[in-house]
Every structure is written in C-alpha cells, then in structure tokens.
Amino acid sequence: MPHYSPQLIQTMRDALEAVMASVPTGHATPGVKAHLAEIILQAAAQGLTSHDSLVAAASDQIQAIISMLT
C-alpha cells in the first residue's frame, strides 16, 4: 500500500474538491465523489502528484462515472 506525505494528501483533497466543483449539481453525489477520489488515489499511486495532473486525471472520467452510476 502506498504511503502519501501529508502534503500530497492535502493536494489530493484539494484536487477532489476542484473536480467536484465541475460535476453538474444533480450528479454531485457521494458515490460520484467516491469514484473520483479513487481515480485521484490511483493517479497518485502512478506518480502523478501535482494538483493540475490529479484534477486532469479525475476530470477526464466525470462523464464515464456519471454514466455508470445513472
């Protein structure tokens, strides 16, 4: 299991909140947030550690997640 520094954890949290702000209001559910958080964790585990790269990784999956959950 990867170990993340406190700074990276905060970056991941900030990235998640930024991505959630771009999710359409009717779809901003806890399930969508959980899936986006998982994508961010996977991206960080693969070495993406900047706010922008984590936001981009999760943002690319918003429509797929919404489609999957609706």
DSSP letter string over the chain?
A: -----HHHHHHHHHHHHHHHHTS-GGG--HHHHHHHHHHHHHHHHTT--SHHHHHHHHHTTHHHHHHHH-
Is residue 31 assigned to a domain? yes
Is residue 1 assigned to a domain? no
State pLDDT tens for residues 8-54.
999 999 999 999 999 999 999 999 999 999 999 999 999 999 999 99
Contact present, 12 and 46 (Cβ < 8 Å): no
> What is this structure's pTM?
0.91
* Residue 55, C-beta contacts closer than 8 angstroms, at least 6 positions apart: 15, 18, 19
Indicate the number of domains in the chain.
1
Structural domain including 13 reads: 6-69
